[in-house]
C-alpha cells in the first residue's frame, strides 16, 4: 500500500497517549503482533477521545503516512474517529504485564493480549501445518470416533457418556442396567483414536487423525489437560525405524514452519516468554535427535553419578527426573528412547525377539518431557492374544474387531501420538498447557 493511501483501521485500542496538540492511539486488530499508531492532530476536534480508553473498539479513518516519530515506519494521520464499542475503566487488561494466573481467570479477554494473540495465531498456523505435512506425503486424514464403547484403550481414566437419569438410574438385578442407556452399553469419551486408526491404516496405507482427546485423570501439572488435541499418524508396511524417522521429520517440520511462518510471534516468545526459544528451535532443526535404546538410557543414568529420588535399574518406568536428565543435561536436545521393557508398556506394542522388550518409542524434549509416545504394533495374531491375556485383559472377544486386522491380511504397521498442546508449549516456550489452549479443561476448571 503506497504512502498517502486512504485507510480505515478497525481494531481495539491498546494504549492512548494524549497531549494538548497531538494524541496517539495504538490499535491492534488481532491479525498480527504489531499495532498501528494513529496520530490525531488538534485532538480537540474529536471530543470522543475522552471516552476512548484501553480496550475500546474503534474505527479510525485517515491517511497512511511515513511516521514522524521513532519506533514505527508508518502511521495513520487520523481525520475520522468513531467509538464502536466503549471499554470503561473497569476493563481488566492493562498496558503492562499481567500474571498468567490472573489471565486464566479472564480467559474470555486474554486473547486480546500480546501473548495470547501470539499463542492463538501460532496454534492456528500449526494446526494447518499438520494437515499440510501429512497431505503432502500421501497420508489420509481420518475421523475416529469421539464416543467410544471400549473402556480398555489402555490410557488412563475415562469420562463416561450417558443419558441415564443419575438420580433414578435404570436397575436390573440390583445393578445398573446399561442396556437401557443410549447406546445399549457403557460409553466413554475417547482417550485415543489409535485402535481405529490401525483399522484404516491397514486399508488406506498411511493415515493420520487430528482431534480432541479426553482423559479423566486427576492430574494437576503444567503439562496435563483433561481435554487436548492429539495427532496420531499410523503407517502400514512400516516398522519402528520408519516411525522414529517420521516423528523426527514431523517435529522438525513443525519447528521450521513456526520459525518461517510465525516470525513475529517467535520473536515475541523469544524475547518475553522464554529467552532464546527461537535459537533453540533453529539449532534443533539443524541437528539430529538422539536415539537410544532404553537399556542404553538406563546405563547412562546409572553411570551419571546423579542422586535420583527414584533409583535407576533396568526394568523401571523412567520418571520425570530421569527423562529431564537425558534431555536437559546429557544431550540438551530431543531424545528418542526405544525398545522398552515389555512389562511396562501396552499390549499392542510389538514384542522383540529377545522376548523382554517391545518396539516402543518415546520422544522426550527439554522442559516439556514426553511429547510423543508410539510403537510398532504387534501384527502377529497369536503373540498379540498372548500379550492381551498376560496384561490381564479378560474379555479378549470384545477386541475381535481389533484382532481381525491380524487375522486377515496382517501387515507390519506403526504409529504414534503427538500431544498438540505439548508441541505448542515446546515451540512457544509457554510453561503451562493451560496457556496454549484458549479455554483449558483441567480438574476443577471447565469455565467458559
Partner RNA sequence: UGCCCUGUAGCUCAGUCGGUAGAGCAGCUGACUGUUAAUCAGCGGGUCGCUGGUUCGAGCCCAGCCGGGGCAGCCA
Site for RNA in 84-103 (CB under 7 A): 89-90, 92, 94-99, 101-102
CB of 68 or CB of 166, closer to RNA: 68
Q: Does 42 bind RNA (CB under 7 A)?
A: no
The size of the chain, in residues, is: 448
Q: Does 320 bind RNA (CB under 7 A)?
A: yes
Applying the rule CB under 7 A, the residues between 289 and 318 that interact with RNA are 310, 317
Name the β-bridge partners of 38: 25, 76
Applying the rule CB under 7 A, the residues between 359 and 418 that interact with RNA are 362, 369-373, 417-418
The number of CA neighbours under 13 Å toward the Cβ of 216 is 10
Q: Which DSSP state fits 392?
A: T
Q: Does 37 bind RNA (CB under 7 A)?
A: yes
37 and 25 Cβ atoms separated by less than 8 Å: yes
Kind of pairing between the strands at 227-236 and 290-293: unpaired
Q: Does 192 bind RNA (CB under 7 A)?
A: yes
Provide, rounded to whole angstroms, the least separation between the CB of residue 95 and RNA.
5
Provide, rounded to whole angstroms, the least separation between the CB of residue 173 and RNA.
32
Q: Does 422 bind RNA (CB under 7 A)?
A: yes
Segment contacting RNA (CB under 7 A): 130-138, 215-223, 251-259, 279-287? 215-223
Q: Does 57 bind RNA (CB under 7 A)?
A: no
Q: How far is CA 357 from the centre of its chain?
A: 29
CB of 102 or CB of 183, closer to RNA: 102
CB of 96 or CB of 175, closer to RNA: 96
CB of 220 or CB of 286, closer to RNA: 220
The number of CA neighbours under 13 Å toward the Cβ of 361 is 29
CB of 37 or CB of 202, closer to RNA: 37
Q: How many residues at the interface with RNA, by CB under 7 A?
A: 76
Question: What is the helix (H) or strand (E) element at residue 127, kind and residue range?
Answer: helix 114-136
230 and 420 Cβ atoms separated by less than 8 Å: yes
Q: Does 70 bind RNA (CB under 7 A)?
A: yes
Q: Does 208 bind RNA (CB under 7 A)?
A: no
Q: Does 221 bind RNA (CB under 7 A)?
A: yes
Q: How far is CA 303 from the centre of its chain?
A: 34
CB of 86 or CB of 241, closer to RNA: 86
Q: Which phi and psi (to 5°) does residue 14 adopt?
A: -95, -40
Let me know if 33 is exposed, middle or buried by CB neighbors in 10 A (0-12, 13-18, 19+). Answer: middle
Applying the rule CB under 7 A, the residues between 171 and 190 that interact with RNA are none
Q: Which DSSP state fits 271?
A: I
Query: How open is the CA angle 144-166-178, to the nearest 5 degrees?
Result: 55
Applying the rule CB under 7 A, the residues between 325 and 364 that interact with RNA are 362
Q: Does 218 bind RNA (CB under 7 A)?
A: yes
Question: Hunting for cell 505435512 — which residue is that?
Answer: 133
Could you give the string, one character per residue 245-284, with x where binding to RNA holds by CB under 7 A and - elsewhere? ----------------------------------------
Q: Does 63 bind RNA (CB under 7 A)?
A: no
Q: CA 425, CA 88: separation in Å to the nearest integer?
A: 34
Applying the rule CB under 7 A, the residues between 137 and 156 that interact with RNA are 155-156
Nearest to 198 by CA among 4, 448, 412, 427: 412
Q: Does 216 bind RNA (CB under 7 A)?
A: no
Candidates 2, 71, 85, 355: give the one binding RNA (CB under 7 A).
71
Q: CA 421, CA 321: separation in Å to the nearest integer?
A: 21
Amino acid at each position: 500500500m503506497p504512502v498517502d493511501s486512504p485507510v480505515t483501521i478497525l481494531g481495539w485500542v491498546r494504549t492512548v497517549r494524549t497531549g494538548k496538540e497531538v494524541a496517539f492511539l495504538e490499535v491492534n486488530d488481532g491479525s498480527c503482533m504489531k499495532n498501528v499508531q494513529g496520530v490525531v492532530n488538534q485532538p480537540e476536534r474529536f471530543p470522543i477521545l475522552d471516552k476512548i480508553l484501553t480496550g475500546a473498539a474503534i474505527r479510525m479513518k485517515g491517511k497512511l503516512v511515513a511516521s514522524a516519530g521513532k519506533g514505527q515506519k508508518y502511521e495513520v494521520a487520523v481525520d475520522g474517529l468513531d467509538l464502536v464499542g466503549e471499554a470503561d475503566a473497569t476493563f481488566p487488561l492493562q498496558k503492562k504485564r499481567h500474571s498468567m494466573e490472573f489471565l486464566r481467570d479472564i480467559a474470555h479477554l486474554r486473547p486480546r493480549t500480546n501473548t495470547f494473540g501470539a499463542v492463538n495465531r501460532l496454534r492456528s498456523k500449526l494446526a494447518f501445518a499438520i494437515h499440510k505435512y501429512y497431505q503432502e506425503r500421501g497420508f489420509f486424514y481420518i475421523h475416529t470416533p469421539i464416543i467410544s464403547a471400549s473402556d480398555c484403550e489402555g490410557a488412563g481414566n475415562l469420562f463416561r457418556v450417558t443419558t441415564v437419569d443419575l438420580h433414578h438410574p435404570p436397575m436390573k438385578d440390583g445393578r445398573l442396567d446399561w442396556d437401557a442407556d443410549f447406546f445399549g452399553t457403557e460409553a466413554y469419551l475417547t482417550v485415543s483414536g489409535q485402535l481405529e486408526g490401525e483399522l484404516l491404516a491397514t486399508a488406506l496405507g498411511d493415515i493420520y487423525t487430528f482431534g480432541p482427546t479426553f482423559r479423566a485423570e486427576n492430574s494437576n501439572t503444567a503439562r496435563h489437560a483433561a481435554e487436548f488435541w492429539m495427532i496420531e499418524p499410523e503407517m502400514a508396511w512400516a516398522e519402528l525405524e520408519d516411525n522414529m524417522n517420521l516423528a523426527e521429520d514431523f517435529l522438525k517440520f513443525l519447528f521450521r514452519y513456526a520459525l518461517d511462518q510465525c516470525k513475529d510471534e517467535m520473536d515475541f516468545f523469544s524475547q518475553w516468554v522464554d529467552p532464546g526459544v527461537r535459537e533453540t528451535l533453529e539449532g534443533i532443526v539443524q541437528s539430529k535427535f538422539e536415539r537410544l535404546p532404553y537399556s542404553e538410557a538406563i546405563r547412562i543414568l546409572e553411570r551419571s553419578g546423579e542422586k535420583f529420588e527414584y533409583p535407576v535399574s533396568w526394568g523401571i518406568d523412567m520418571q520425570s527426573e530421569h527423562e529431564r536428565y537425558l534431555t536437559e543435561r546429557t544431550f540438551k536436545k530431543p531424545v528418542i528412547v526405544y525398545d522398552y521393557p515389555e512389562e511396562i508398556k501396552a499390549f499392542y506394542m510389538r514384542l522383540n525377539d529377545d522376548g523382554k522388550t517391545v518396539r516402543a518409542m518415546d520422544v522426550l524434549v527439554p522442559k516439556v518431557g514426553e511429547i510423543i509416545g508410539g510403537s510398532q504394533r504387534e501384527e502377529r495374531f497369536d503373540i498379540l492374544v498372548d500379550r492381551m491375556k498376560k496384561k490381564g485383559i479378560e474379555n479378549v472377544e470384545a477386541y475381535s474387531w481389533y484382532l481381525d486386522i491380524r487375522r486377515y491380511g496382517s501387515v507390519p504397521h506403526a504409529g504414534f501420538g503427538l500431544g498438540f498442546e505439548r508441541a505448542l508449549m515446546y515451540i512457544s516456550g509457554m510453561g503451562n498447557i493451560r496457556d496454549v489452549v484458549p479455554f483449558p479443561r483441567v480438574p476443577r476448571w471447565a469455565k467458559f
